[in-house]
Chains A and B, each alone.
Chain A
Amino acid sequence: MISVSDPRAEAPATEQSARLRRALAKSPPSVRAAFAAVALVVLVAALGPLLTRDPTAQDLLAVLRPPFATGSAGTYLLGTDQLGRDLLARLVSGMRTSFVITFSAVLVGGLVGTAIGLASGYLGGRVDNLLMRIVDIQLAVPGVLLVLTLAAVLRPGVGTTICVLSLIVWVIYARVARAQVLSLRETDLVMAARATGCSNARILLYHVLPNIAGSIWVITTLEFAHVMIAEAALGYLGLGVPPPAPTLGAMISEGQRYLQLGKWWLVVMPGVIVSLTIISINAIGNWLRDIHDPRSRGRPG
């Protein structure tokens, strides 16, 4: 036997991140723009509330002012709403609330759904039957109706909104994960892993999960957008986080009444933020799926 020391073997984790960096360097401008947009939006949502005014402070002498108007508290960069509250401050604060809720709901729903889908597909039999019937029942009920009912019955708040929204997400993950596991389970890949002495947990974690990660990424980006809209819809219908705390959906809902009066900024500002974020996330999702599949990464000579 020979012994060869391998400098690259020392840090497999850095190798992974280096690969991601290389892929990013080769990514098209649209993907980089999407990353920049998401980074900016997240940064603003995270740090913005520290820099802007109090989003609930009213300036009743300067209501419904357009962008760049001045009032008693100085210049309002994005104007003010019907109670003279600073739209920039409300937007930034609303972004934070909306993102926290969306991210948590997708995370919770995605983890739970994927785990259930993996177990269901791999174990099969009665477990599979039971879990998939639950999924069927839930899918048979319109998602929005379910969310609205629960949101109306439960005490409103951030936690409730997260729970309610994650409920519409997990079924999608469970379905997709299960379908993929069903086909993977019959492959030589899983047979070979079992022949190497892997436990079921190990097979699921190391052999099945990485092979379905591409689909999981794609539905994550789709669901992120989906949940973000659902969250905005809840806010719009007044069933989300209760006022006066701003959310993007609630802002659009309130601002809509003043559209006819020509006060466009109340709706356009939060609307643009929602659209921009969703488009960027979808672009990133597509790109992630492409680079995640090693077969599409090209063959080095």
Chain B
Amino acid sequence: MKQPYGIDRDEVLALEDLSVGFVHGGTSTVLAHVSLSIRRGETLGLVGESGCGKSTLGRAVMRLLPSNAAVDGEIRLLGRDVRAMDDREIRRLRGGSVAMIFQNPMSALNPVLTIGRQITEALETHTGLRGRAATARAVELLHLVGIGRPVDRVHDYPHQLSGGMRQRAMIAMAVSCDPKLLIADEPTTALDVTVQTQILDLLAALQEKLSMAILFISHDMAAVASVADRVAVMYAGRIVEQGQATALLLDPAHPYTSGLLNSVPSVDGAKLARLQAIPGNVSAGSAEAAGCSFHPRCRFAVTGCDAEAPPLADIGDGRASRCWLATEDWRPDAAARGLAT
């Protein structure tokens, strides 16, 4: 499918027909023909359960995949082909125009270097700043991400900070060189709920201030709902549904999206019903299996779903769903009520 945006000046990242497989003996496909784009200042939420290829996608953008990864398709970042870059260019890109934050800041931060040193390292790599100027900038950045007493904190080691503080420090490192795209790979998963909210608020504030695009990778629907402008739902290496965040989350068009949303516990008094789980799990290699990759777990599966894979079909309002049943009106939740009665 072609990008609806085409060549666009505001386009920060565009993936076209991106496929990734890992070679070990045979090849296992992790991403299959993924196309998506992110525009300046926009947050794209990428959701899906563990193992659906979300993190692989984020890493593919920065060419951080292991050497046994076979990549196919186009990755265009700020109009330039990432796959064609040489080592020097790709290093300038990493941490420069694209930065990444990780799920667990404790393991991603270097335990034997101070926070300040790690931020100044990024600055030294990408900007001319060195020595006192770099440290002063590190202090500014720590202040920017809401760390109190940054003048003291800059000399702290990661283990001396709390989990939330560490993630803030990680974010400070990531935004230190003014990235155009921030890839946040499950940035709140390892944090407790109150801290999660603070980090999400921080990301939103920073995005406004620095006008960067964010690729927000998460399996936490609530987190995605609070930050994303658009959402792409992935299943077994494919995008199964995408569209504007509010519309997609309130009114899912794909059975998998609906299943994900129904499996989120709610504090809403009206919904004390038993949580609905999606039966089964993402089976290995289902990206290559015949038919729709979700059909073995889909309660709406009909004859034909196992024969041919459905295309990502346009269902209006800039939304698309990879389901044979998908039309402008068909919704799994309504259909489920129909099945029940």
Q: Is the CB of B143 within 8 A of A2?
A: yes
Q: Is the CB of A193 within 8 A of B91?
A: no
Partner of B110, one of A194, A207, A293: A207
Question: What's the Cα separation between A189 and B102 when bound, in Å?
Answer: 10
A136 at the interface (CB under 8 A from B): no
A28 at the interface (CB under 8 A from B): no
Known: A2-B143, A188-B107. A196 touches B122 (CB 8 A): yes
Interface size class of A (residues with CB under 8 A): 20 to 34
Known: A2-B143, A194-B94, A195-B64. A9 touches B112 (CB 8 A): no
A14 at the interface (CB under 8 A from B): no
Question: What's the Cα separation between A193 and B116 when bound, in Å?
Answer: 15
Q: Given the complex, which residues of B lie within 8 Å of A273, measured CB to CB?
A: none
Question: What's the Cα separation between A193 and B118 when bound, in Å?
Answer: 9
Partner of A198, one of B59, B91, B143: B91
Q: Is the CB of A195 within 8 A of B132?
A: no
Question: What's the Cα separation between A211 and B93 when bound, in Å?
Answer: 26
Q: Given the complex, which residues of B lie within 8 Å of A207, measured CB to CB?
A: 110, 113
Question: What's the Cα separation between A194 and B44 when bound, in Å?
Answer: 23
A142 at the interface (CB under 8 A from B): no
Q: Is the CB of A197 within 8 A of B126?
A: yes
Question: Majority SS of interface residues in chain B?
Answer: helix
B264 at the interface (CB under 8 A from A): no
Min CB distance A65 to B, Å, is 55
Min CB distance B66 to A, Å, is 9
Min CB distance B182 to A, Å, is 11
B93-135 vs A, Cβ < 8 Å mask (1 yes, 0 no)? 1111001101110011111110011000110011000001001
Min CB distance A36 to B, Å, is 28
Q: Is the CB of B113 within 8 A of A210?
A: yes
B173 at the interface (CB under 8 A from A): yes
Known: A187-B107, A188-B107, A210-B110. A195 touches B62 (CB 8 A): yes
Known: A4-B143, A187-B107, A197-B93. A299 touches B160 (CB 8 A): yes
Question: What's the Cα separation between A193 and B121 when bound, in Å?
Answer: 10
Partner of B102, one of A8, A192, A197: A192
Q: Is the CB of A294 within 8 A of B107?
A: no
Interface size class of B (residues with CB under 8 A): 35 or more
Q: Is the CB of A295 within 8 A of B111?
A: yes
A176-214 vs B, Cβ < 8 Å mask (1 yes, 0 no)? 000000000001110111111111001000110011010
Min CB distance B144 to A, Å, is 7
B136 at the interface (CB under 8 A from A): yes
From B4-12, B74-82, B151-159, B317-325, give the one contacting chain A. Answer: B151-159
Residue on A with the closest CB to B113? A210
B164 at the interface (CB under 8 A from A): no
Q: Is the CB of B159 within 8 A of A195?
A: no
Q: Is the CB of A9 within 8 A of B64?
A: no
Q: Given the complex, which residues of A lie within 8 Å of B122, measured CB to CB?
A: 196-197
Q: Is the CB of A191 within 8 A of B154?
A: no
Q: Is the CB of B143 within 8 A of A195?
A: no
Q: Is the CB of A188 within 8 A of B102?
A: yes
Question: What's the Cα separation between A5 and B151 when bound, in Å?
Answer: 8
A300 at the interface (CB under 8 A from B): yes
A261 at the interface (CB under 8 A from B): no
Question: What's the Cα separation between A210 and B121 when bound, in Å?
Answer: 14
B92 at the interface (CB under 8 A from A): yes
* CB-contacts of A198-256 with B (<8 A): 198-199, 202, 206-207, 210-211, 213
Q: Given the complex, which residues of B lie within 8 Å of A12, measured CB to CB?
A: 117
Q: Is the CB of A211 within 8 A of B111?
A: yes
Min CB distance A94 to B, Å, is 39
Question: What's the Cα separation between A15 and B109 when bound, in Å?
Answer: 21
B52 at the interface (CB under 8 A from A): no
Min CB distance B72 to A, Å, is 22
Q: Is the CB of B107 within 8 A of A189?
A: yes
Question: What's the Cα separation between A3 and B135 when bound, in Å?
Answer: 11
Residue on B with the closest CB to A1? B140
Question: What's the Cα separation between A199 and B143 when bound, in Å?
Answer: 28
B252 at the interface (CB under 8 A from A): no
Known: A6-B151, A192-B102. A211 touches B110 (CB 8 A): yes
Q: Is the CB of A299 within 8 A of B102?
A: no
Q: Given the complex, which residues of B lie within 8 Å of A191, measured CB to CB?
A: 59, 64, 102, 108
Min CB distance A200 to B, Å, is 9
Question: What's the Cα separation between A5 and B62 when bound, in Å?
Answer: 35
B139 at the interface (CB under 8 A from A): yes
Min CB distance A161 to B, Å, is 35
Residue on B with the closest CB to A196? B95
Q: Is the CB of B108 within 8 A of A188?
A: yes
Min CB distance A78 to B, Å, is 46
Partner of A15, one of B103, B108, B155: B155
Known: A6-B154, A189-B110, A207-B110. A299 touches B159 (CB 8 A): yes
B150 at the interface (CB under 8 A from A): yes
Residue on B with the closest CB to A2? B143
Question: What's the Cα separation between A300 and B64 when bound, in Å?
Answer: 36
Partner of A188, one of B92, B95, B104, B150: B104
- Name the 3 nearest CB pairs between A and B, nearest first: A197-B95, A9-B135, A196-B95
Query: Which B residues form the contact surface with A (CB < 8 A)?
Result: 59, 62, 64, 91-96, 99-100, 102-104, 107-113, 116-117, 121-122, 125-126, 132, 135-136, 139-140, 143-144, 150-151, 154-155, 157, 159-160, 170, 173
Between-chain CB contacts (< 8 Å), 14 pairs: A8-B151, A188-B103, A188-B104, A189-B110, A191-B64, A191-B102, A192-B102, A195-B64, A196-B95, A196-B122, A197-B91, A197-B92, A198-B91, A211-B110
